[in-house]
Amino acid sequence: MKFSAVVAAGIAMAGSAMAALDPIVIRGNAFYTNGSNDRFYIRGVDYQPGGSSNVSDPLADSDGCKRDVPVFKNLGVNAIRVYTVDNSADHDDCMSLLDDAGIYLLLDVNTPKQSLNRNEPGPSYNAAYLQAIFATVDAFKKYDNVLGFFSANEVINDVNSTATAPYVKAVTRDLKRYIKAQSSRTIPVGYSAADISQNRWQQMEYFNCGNESETIDMFGMNDYSWCGDSSFQVSGYQQNVENYGNYSIPMFFSEYGCNKVTPREFSEVETIYSSQMSPVYSGGLVYEYSQEANNYGLVKLNGDSVSYLTDFYNLKYALGNATDPSGSAGASTTRSKANCPSYEEGTWEVRGTDLPEVPSGAEKYFSDGAGKALGFNAPSTQWSSGNSSDSDSDSDSSSSASASSAGSTATSGSQSSAASTSTSKSKGGAGAVEVPSMMNSIYSLVLGGLFSLGLML
């Protein structure tokens, strides 16, 4: 199976093109290359040219991959995270370039139009939505270098959006069930969480508690707490290692790289890949590859050309000097699942452990498969209880789904939103609440066609 992409790409030379990667597997709270006892630490970069909320598919862009994969290799990464893909597109070229370069993929299955609506999760959890994300699984399950899928990113983005948690968990359950039924290989499913100190632990517990069929396989945290010349202690990493020391599944940074001090030195890299962190963490991904308005880039893209910024070299050398701890490095297979967190007014407003049932009409996908992938042209699935007949009318730029740009604040030291980099081409539309974004970014939703992007903090 893994060779078909190579053949399809028309690469005739047998030997050299067949550097097929082994899948990554999870044992206890760590990743391993299948068949090996050496841990796999994610050394990654987040990759979505145009910004993490740009509705474009970087893995369907063969020229873009030919331009960027050698740069990933030069940087020394073994994983990328992509926030949005077109499930109807062909990804063979990019996936085999990545595979040849020894690079795994972490993929968000949602798009701005096919995702849970934070403000009204119920109606947005529907069969059309599940069809879309299942079709995305279908498009990628054949690639052995898919490390895992994210069922959602930062849906809980504040203390007042915790009521969405059962929906996120239901989506996780459905994805796991779909993969079990429709994929020949187990592929991990995780959640990528916003950095909310008040309820982060409850999130971790909630997604880790209860029946295995409903729990996440890995936890990604978007964490910007190490800024400039910080330390294990000052950054809060040490506290996290202590607090989360009994977590039973792999944890890693799905986004890191505070830019309050620039150029970024990436002094945290040495600590992330040290034995201080390794009993609990398995590396992370730096936000982000390309320079966008919010100033988190490692390189500047311009057509076919790539210019390296100082951050690129700083990260490359930091990674180059950071050696993975050897052996199991404190990993454990005996930690138990968390207890479900209890209801807490204003912080964790979830009662009980019941999850929404699979929406009507979606049951058939588990047995029959998702069917035809509808790609970026599919109508929005973010239905609402008001469900006006024109709920999709925002799908072209005429309704100016424009995000207010954070560009101007990006250098002021505030955590600007990654989502804010979206251009006027963003098709986020009403309820684009699950747009990939960094901590503190919030989509405030105006039902009826417009959205605006508010920056918190």
Ligand X SMILES: *[C@@H]1O[C@H](CO)[C@@H](O)[C@H](O)[C@H]1NC(C)=O
Stretch that binds ligand X, among 95-103, 158-166, 349-357, 385-393 (CB under 6 A): 158-166
Q: What dihedral do alpha carbons 212, 213, 214, 220 form, nearest 10°?
A: 70
Smaller CB separation from ligand X, 98 or 442: 442
Assess 161 for contact with ligand X (CB under 6 A): yes
| From 120, 205, 214, 255, active-site residue | 255
Which position among 29, 52, 53, 56 is part of the footprint of ligand X (CB under 6 A)? 56
Assess 397 for contact with ligand X (CB under 6 A): no
Smaller CB separation from ligand X, 247 or 253: 247
Cβ 23 to ligand X, closest distance in Å? Answer: 4
154 carries an active-site annotation: yes
Closest CA to 82 of 49, 113, 130, 43: 49
Under rule CB under 6 A, which residues in 398-437 are in contact with ligand X? 425
Cβ 142 to ligand X, closest distance in Å? Answer: 12
The mark string for 175-194 relative to ligand X (x by CB under 6 A, - otherwise) is ----------xx--------
**For residue 146, what are the CA distances in angstroms to 44, 73, 205, 293, 422?**
13, 17, 26, 29, 26
Cβ 128 to ligand X, closest distance in Å? Answer: 21
- If binding means CB under 6 A, how many residues of this protein chain bind ligand X? 25
Cβ 92 to ligand X, closest distance in Å? Answer: 20
Assess 321 for contact with ligand X (CB under 6 A): yes
Smaller CB separation from ligand X, 16 or 323: 323
Cβ 129 to ligand X, closest distance in Å? Answer: 18
Assess 50 for contact with ligand X (CB under 6 A): yes
Cβ 130 to ligand X, closest distance in Å? Answer: 16
Which position among 36, 198, 213, 339 is part of the footprint of ligand X (CB under 6 A)? 213
Assess 158 for contact with ligand X (CB under 6 A): yes
Q: Say if CB 184 and CB 224 are below 8 A apart.
A: no
Assess 239 for contact with ligand X (CB under 6 A): no
Stretch that binds ligand X, among 9-17, 156-164, 279-287, 388-396 (CB under 6 A): 156-164
Which position among 5, 39, 49, 250 is part of the footprint of ligand X (CB under 6 A)? 49
Which position among 43, 118, 169, 200 is part of the footprint of ligand X (CB under 6 A)? 118
The contact set with ligand X (CB under 6 A) reads 23, 25, 34-35, 49-50, 54-56, 118-119, 158, 160-161, 185-186, 211, 213, 245-246, 317, 320-321, 425, 444
Active site residues: 154, 255
